[in-house]
Amino acid sequence: MNITVQKYGGTSVADIERIKDVARRVIRSKKPDQGLVVVVSAMEGTTDDLIRRAEEITPVPSEREMDQLISTGEQISAALLTMAIQYAGFPAVSLTGIQVGILTDDSHTKARIFKIDPRKIFELLDQDTIVVVAGFQGINLKKDVTTLGRGGSDTTAVALAAVLKAEVCEIYTDVAGVYTADPRIVPGAFKLDRISYDEMLELASLGAKVIQNRAVEFAKKFHVTLHVRSSFIEDEGTFVTEEVDTMSMEQVVIRGVTLTLDEAKLTITLVPDTPGIAAHIFKSIAQANINVDMIIQNVSEKGFTDVSFTVPRPELVKTKNLLENISGEIRAGKVTVEEKIAKVSIVGVGMKSHPGVAAIMFEALAEEGINIMMISTSEIKISCVVRAKDGERAVRALHQAFDLDRKQSK
Ligand code: ADP
Ligand code: ASP
Ligand code: MG
């Protein structure tokens, strides 16, 4: 049996009318002898709303309870969509991540899937039933509910496509595909027909939230073809696949520009500049399961230095509390926090073979009078931290500096 997995994001199931539209689209696409599995996100705004409510109670909610809470959004949309499909006369069943048996590790709010038991889904598909799965959620070995990080329904869909050996995993969203930059920020952004897993992984990791980075990781590992497309129109979107034509890929120096406002910067001052201190700081942070992104250490003055780094914004309070304890232990100075930061990045495999890309980036930002606070580079990306209010302007300047609305090869 050919199997297709479709995933509908929050805007696609934003209200009852949209849910009915999705039901019609699902039914239209259902072919005889084809197994159809539909993964849904929570209705638009639901997850944010639930998080806000928790924060009204406590600034540091228990992560287990947070998962109990935020996993409910997807259960609602899955049940409503299933009712709409049934009402149109088609057999359908909704399942939670727990009922499917999506086993994850213990990292609440950002759990990783390590096993899925596909038997229940196969049984239903054999009866020609459309299976609707609540995205974003799983269960750990202690039988506690876990969630997969913001945007995690994408990962549910791709992981299911991998275990079910689906022909394609379609990610339905509110834009027509993957663009050279967020089309809401750069109106002239160019829609890509195809992109390689590696470039998509970088774009997604650096803020192009059109698909969650872990979903791309899964797709690459298990060779799942992704098709990112709009749930509002019928046109084809962007295929995310293996790199085929390396030559033409490398001719395009920069594939896209991204922005993320989801990080915050912490600085610990007057850190004794002696061996082992950085290891002590970052080991304690790693033990608390906090992902550090960029790090800079200033030049040492009179045996002391300042160390700054960025973390995901939801981890800020936890990291600050931890860092204040560490500061006491190592006899360092105060801990300061900067929340209003943005990270802009340029991504492209072609960067490997083209010198001078960083210089163009820094020049474009300088011409806009945008100050760079931190820089990090890898083979296929360069990121700069700037003030939050400069973020969107920086994206537009970089998109133009690299001629992205014109230079894309198809
Ligand atoms: P969904 O609710 O369908 O999961 P998301 O809001 O998570 O949708 O992701 C879609 C959004 O991603 C778009 O509305 C767009 O603003 C944003 N986006 C950011 N970067 C890009 C990009 N490079 N290409 C397309 N969309 C992007
Ligand atoms: N509802 C979750 C979120 O808003 C998961 C998802 O939409 O993919 O992040
Ligand atoms: Mg999303």
Tell me, in angstroms, the distance from the centre of ligand 3 to residue 211's CA: 6
Tell me, in angstroms, the distance from the centre of ligand 3 to residue 173's CA: 8
pLDDT of residue 352: 83
Nearest residue (by CA) to ligand 2, atom 8, is 151
pLDDT of residue 130: 98
Does the beta carbon of 11 lie inside 6 Å of ligand 1? Answer: yes
How many CB atoms sit inside 10 A of residue 89's CB?
A: 7
CA distance 153 to 243: 25
Does the beta carbon of 113 lie inside 6 Å of ligand 1? Answer: no
214-262 per-position pLDDT tens digit: 999 999 999 999 999 999 999 999 999 987 665 565 577 899 999 999 9
Q: Any idea which ligand is nearest the CA of 185?
A: 1
Nearest residue (by CA) to ligand 1, atom 11, is 210
pLDDT of residue 148: 98
Q: Which CATH superfamily is domain 2-250 in?
A: Acetylglutamate kinase-like (3.40.1160.10)
Domain-by-domain residue ranges, the chain?
Answer: 2-250
For ligand 2, mutation pick of 52, 150, 160, 173 (most atoms within 8 Å of CB):
150
In 181-277, beta strands by DSSP E: 194-196, 226-230, 238-241, 256-260, 263-272
CA 45, distance to chain mean position in Å, is: 17
pLDDT of residue 409: 44
Tell me, in angstroms, the distance from the centre of ligand 3 to residue 92's CA: 24
Q: Which atom of ligand 2 is found nearest the CA of 42? A: 1
Order of strands, sheet of 335-338, starting from the edge strand that comes earlier in the sequence: 295-297, 304-312, 263-272, 335-338
How many CB atoms sit inside 10 A of residue 151's CB?
A: 21
Position 177: which residue type?
Answer: G
Residue ranges in the chain modelled with pLDDT below 70: 244-250, 407-410
Task: Give residue ranges with CB within 6 A of ligand 2.
Answer: 9-10, 41-42, 47, 73, 135-136, 150-154
For ligand 2, mutation pick of 69, 74, 211, 313 (most atoms within 8 Å of CB):
74
Tell me, in angstroms, the distance from the centre of ligand 2 to residue 303's CA: 46
Question: What's this model's pTM, rounded to 2 decimal places?
Answer: 0.92
Bridge pairing between strands 381-387 and 374-378: antiparallel
Tell me, in angstroms, the distance from the centre of ligand 2 to residue 71's CA: 9
Q: Which atom of ligand 2 is found nearest the CA of 154? A: 8
Tell me, in angstroms, the distance from the centre of ligand 3 to residue 209's CA: 6
Bridge pairing between strands 92-95 and 34-40: unpaired
Tell me, in angstroms, the distance from the centre of ligand 1 to residue 7's CA: 14
